[in-house]
Structure 1
Amino acid sequence: MRPSRYALLTGALLTAAAASAQVQPPPAGGQAPPPAAPTPPPAPAAPAKSVPYGAGLKVNLSPDGSKYIRFLTWHQVYTRYTKNNEGTIRALGKPQKGQVDFGLRRSRLVILAQLNPRFVIYTHMGINNQNAVGGGLTPTTDGKKPQFFIHEAVTEYKVNKYLSLGGGLHYLNGISRITSASTTSILPMDLPLTNFPTIEQTDQFARWLGVYAKGRVGKLDYRFSVSDPFLTNQTSNPLNLGTTVNNVNTGTGIATYSPQNTKHVYQGYVSYNFLEPEANLLPYFTGTYLGTKRVFSVGAGFLYNKDAMYSRPTSSVVTVTPAVLANPFGLVGTDKHSLKMFGVDAFYDVPLDTASRTALTLYGVYYNYNMGPNHVRFIGPENPGYGAAPTRGNAVPQSGTGNSFYGQVGYLLPQKLLGPKASLQPYVAYLHSDYEGLHYANGDTKAVNVYDAGVNVLLDGHNAKVTLNYRARPDFEGYVPTTGNFNRLDYKPEITLQTQIFL
């Protein structure tokens, strides 16, 4: 028993000593000791460089991210000096030779969702070409309250790794690579509307209602579509295809879009990538990769629309009577013409020096358009001119029966020029078109040449950039739509500063 008592006594003494060590007596004077200084939180490490933007504003709907919804939005804002084409009016009854104006070239929103790797749905909305005098409810005379409309509304099903099928209001165009261009990553400030030859006539801002098949087999990418043509927004009947003198209407021999076009539109584009493959989830082709990929692609495409155009030869002579006015389609004969459009192109985009981050971008395309006899159409993007005159403002011959070539060259300069926060990409672009319906009074045709030179200031790649562009464009003074004649060719300048934010 004695050893047990010693053990209990020893344990009690140790416990008391430990408790006494943990309880400190208050200091003299009864004041508590000052609190210890808090430990400062560790400073976050500064990022070595800007993190790439990646997939956009993405919300995962499943833990592994296989189900998601993405939001993409961008604005392109213009500050521009334009020397107007001869005879331009800036407001009702106010001729104006030139001006500095401001405009919204594009404002867009894309919503993309994928429920699983086989199903994709996306919607593309926005406005285009709004300035103080145009692009609004009445596009040629009103700039206020532009129509916020759907550009694309597509559902798509992936059959296998080689084939996807889709339908809706789509952008799966034929003819060329830049006929389905991504407007956020183009090399120059803008693209010529020559690559959208039917824009706002048989399509909805280069989009179509139809179905498509797309995919990739090895290094070969393809897209084919069948669509309905939209009824043309041109007010036209067989008498509009002629001129009336003393109650006699004589055909002009110039084709225009037929208001009776209901035949399907067939399109396709096939390309072969010799180097790295390109993403093809969405229909938009990248204009310049800024040295992030090595791409060499050669392609060819087409668009065919039977009886899309109509005309009356100069031998067609009709006496205008009340019966003819009441039923011109039944009593005035016309010739039908099919839209036949072809293109071949090549795109080369590679980094040159990875250490200095230099890169080269080259693109060239040849178009052959058959749009009926003597057809020529003038368009000016975000036109600063007032009214419906085809040559107003900054309009140039955008499409027509004939041949066109468009090329562009860009060089991404070394990163060290402006430091780590920005880089420069100068470029030049050139459009050459020969249209049979654009000529002097003696019948001699004249080529359309448009020259662009500029520089992209890339603050965060394509997601934040500023572009300064100089354009010399042809002004076909005295152009008469009913004959195709013009009096004089002059070149007018445009200087544009574009800011782009893309998130």
Structure 2
Amino acid sequence: MKKITLVCMFLGFHLFYGQDSTGAVKKQEVVLPAKNPMDIGELKINLDPKGERWLKFGINSQIWLRSIENNPGTKVNGVPQDQTYDAGIRRMRLTVQSQLTPFYSVYLQVGINNQTFISGGGSGTGANGAGKKPGLFFHDAYNEFTIIPRTDFNTGKPNKNNLYIGAGLHSWNGVSRMTNASTTKLLAADLPIFNFPTIEVADQFARQFGVFVHGDLDRINYRFSVNKPFATSNTPAVGSAAVDNNQSGKLSYAGYAFYQFFEKEATVTSFLPGNNLAKKKVLNIGSGFYLNKEGTQSQPAANVFESHDVSIFGADVYSEIPMGNKKKEMGLTLYSVFYRYNYGPDYIRMSGLMNPGTADTSFTGQKALEGPGNNRVLMGTGNIFFLQAGFVLPKFSNTVKVQPFVNYTLKDMDALHQKGNYYDVGTSFYFYGQNARLAVQYSSRPLYDTASRTVFDRKGELIILFHIVL
């Protein structure tokens, strides 16, 4: 124990004290929160007087309270339930971002997701109860090298063209802006999830291992990567839809680029905001892709297996427009994206965020193709159109801002016989900028009949979000 204490004291001493070129101990600069209560500042430690070497820490905590209208034939904790109330941790993350020299950096993000009273727990909870003690895991863990810096090392002037290269478990994704979304600056209560085309199948929470490059060509921001997908080996049923099976081991390729018409965005990390409270004038048009040869498999006849290439393409528009009198701080945020997915014949995925339900095998009524709980059609071979809008209301307080928002999704899946319309509507209350948010959102989803594969009913879900970002 004494040895551990001494080591901790030594590390703590060197975290805040370093040595200058003569070897003398020198105190490092700690960046404290700003005096303006609307600007909390950064959790950042400068390791040199110029601030060129630093460590930055982040905390992202999202707590959900919910009322869920369950799909027909749902049990929750073994009891049939039409409606369920619950609370859970949607996301809890810690990040460490470092600029150790002007030439290289390390980025780490660790945390948990989707823990409720019944789901998301670690293995071996046993008699301690379902859902308890989830294991922390790395979301991001990559190293990055500077090839052409954003700011010239000699002159201190910005470079219009810059280039960075890195490797590791990363989220420099392709397809769309929302596939590279920042979860600390969301417009709605959450992401639609179909923006991550291989989520928790061939990736680890939207990340894959690989090599990536990113940077700017004047007003074009770009990112491209070559990755090794996480292994899948599902066995397709005879005559059924394609399933995830990439046993042939092919690499995946991804890329996304967007043109910035007005103000340029900072892209030190991979995460692109979906909402800045319309503080800037932004108009970006982008497009991207994800390709994985032989990523799925079907069995058209007994013992006859056929592999299929996965190809996803996206095109999107993102805009933030300050409006009216500047003192009122009003503004409109718009985002629209179109996805074309091809996973092979009739591929389809169902999913429900923090789903508390399981199937009630004794249920004899009309069942939903989606399954129990709050499951919905997530994505599959076909097309998805998504539109999102939010408006910051006129300023009435120095502390609080109010932003109503709405989402609309149209899903046209090859495996279904009717298009699906999905709606989300809500309002966010921001405290001290975007560091604290309380949001209320109601979502409506269609349900498909198992036989006809057409819509026969709708269900809703109410979410109250408590969100803190530091």
- Which range, TM-score by smaller chain? 0.7 to 0.9
* Matched residue SS, 2:179: helix
Change (3 A) 1:473 1:357: same
Report the Cα distance in structure 1 between the residues aligned to 2:114 and 2:44, rounded to whole angstroms. 28
Q: Please give the residue correspondences for 1:18-167 in structure 2 after superposition, counting only pairs within 5 Å.
A: 50-54=37-41, 56-92=42-78, 94-137=79-122, 142-161=130-149, 162-167=162-167
Match of 1:212 in 2: 212
Q: Larger C-alpha radius of gyration, 1 or 2?
A: 1
Q: Please give the residue correspondences for 1:401-480 in structure 2 after superposition, counting only pairs within 5 Å.
A: 401-416=381-396, 419-438=397-416, 445-477=417-449, 479=450
**Which of 353, 373, 376 is equivalent to 1:381?**
353
Match of 1:13 in 2: none
Please tell me whether residue 291 in structure 1 is matched to residue 258 in structure 2: no
Q: Is the 8 A contact 2:295 2:308 kept in 1?
A: yes
Change (3 A) 1:149 1:390: farther
- Deviation at 1:475? 2.1
- Deviation at 1:261? 4.1
Report the Cα distance in structure 1 between the residues aligned to 2:90 and 2:57, rounded to whole angstroms. 20
Report the Cα distance in structure 2 between the residues aligned to 1:218 and 1:487, rounded to whole angstroms. 48
Q: Is the 8 A contact 1:229 1:261 kept in 2?
A: no
- Deviation at 1:197? 1.9
TM-score (norm 2): 0.84
Report the Cα distance in structure 1 between the residues aligned to 2:453 and 2:337, rounded to whole angstroms. 28
* Residue identity in the other structure for 2:274: G
* Residue identity in the other structure for 1:113: S
* Matched residue SS, 1:189: coil
Report the Cα distance in structure 1 between the residues aligned to 2:411 and 2:101, rounded to whole angstroms. 46
* Residue identity in the other structure for 1:286: P
Report the Cα distance in structure 2 between the residues aligned to 1:345 and 1:138, rounded to whole angstroms. 40
Report the Cα distance in structure 2 between the residues aligned to 1:431 and 1:399, rounded to whole angstroms. 11
Q: Is the 8 A contact 2:351 2:375 kept in 1?
A: yes
Per-residue displacement from partner, 1:448-498 (whole Å, max 9, x unpaired)? 221000000001222101000011112224x37xxxx54752111111100
Report the Cα distance in structure 2 between the residues aligned to 1:148 and 1:214, rounded to whole angstroms. 28
Report the Cα distance in structure 2 between the residues aligned to 1:469 and 1:384, rounded to whole angstroms. 19
- Deviation at 1:51? 4.3
* Residue identity in the other structure for 1:126: G
* Matched residue SS, 2:223: strand
Report the Cα distance in structure 2 between the residues aligned to 1:183 and 1:153, rounded to whole angstroms. 17
* Matched residue SS, 1:80: strand
Match of 2:304 in 1: 333
**Which of 332, 337, 341 is equivalent to 1:369?**
341
- Deviation at 1:387? 6.4
Q: Is the 8 A contact 1:406 1:431 kept in 2?
A: yes
Report the Cα distance in structure 1 between the residues aligned to 2:292 and 2:208, rounded to whole angstroms. 13
Per-residue displacement from partner, 1:328-353 (whole Å, max 9, x unpaired)? xxxx2211100010000000012113
- Deviation at 1:64? 1.9
The number of residue pairs the alignment matches comes to 413
Match of 2:21 in 1: none
Q: Please give the residue correspondences for 1:342-357 in structure 2 after superposition, counting only pairs within 5 Å.
A: 342-353=313-324, 354-357=326-329
- Deviation at 1:390? 5.6
Q: Is the 8 A contact 1:133 1:386 kept in 2?
A: no
- Deviation at 1:48? 9.3
Match of 1:499 in 2: 466
Q: Is the 8 A contact 1:154 1:168 kept in 2?
A: yes
Q: Which runs of 5+ in 2 are unaligned?
A: 1-33, 150-161, 361-368
* Residue identity in the other structure for 1:497: I
- Deviation at 1:302? 0.1
Report the Cα distance in structure 2 between the residues aligned to 1:213 and 1:400, rounded to whole angstroms. 28
- Deviation at 1:422? 0.4
Report the Cα distance in structure 2 between the residues aligned to 1:449 and 1:381, rounded to whole angstroms. 18
Please tell me whether residue 277 in structure 1 is matched to residue 255 in structure 2: no
Per-residue displacement from partner, 1:136-192 (whole Å, max 9, x unpaired)? 1259x9311112100000111110142100110000110100001001101000111
Report which of the two has the higher share of strand: 2
Work out the percentage of aligned pairs sharing the same amino acid. 38
- Deviation at 1:117? 2.5
* Residue identity in the other structure for 2:167: G
Report the Cα distance in structure 1 between the residues aligned to 2:242 and 2:327, rounded to whole angstroms. 55
Q: Is the 8 A contact 1:82 1:99 kept in 2?
A: yes
Q: Is the 8 A contact 1:231 1:261 kept in 2?
A: no
TM-score (norm 1): 0.79
* Residue identity in the other structure for 1:75: S
* Residue identity in the other structure for 2:132: K
Report the Cα distance in structure 1 between the residues aligned to 2:101 and 2:195, rounded to whole angstroms. 34
Report the Cα distance in structure 1 between the residues aligned to 2:359 and 2:100, rounded to whole angstroms. 47
Report the Cα distance in structure 2 between the residues aligned to 1:219 and 1:344, rounded to whole angstroms. 17
Match of 2:22 in 1: none
Q: Is the 8 A contact 1:212 1:224 kept in 2?
A: yes
Match of 1:26 in 2: none
Match of 1:16 in 2: none
Match of 1:248 in 2: none
- Deviation at 1:252? 2.0
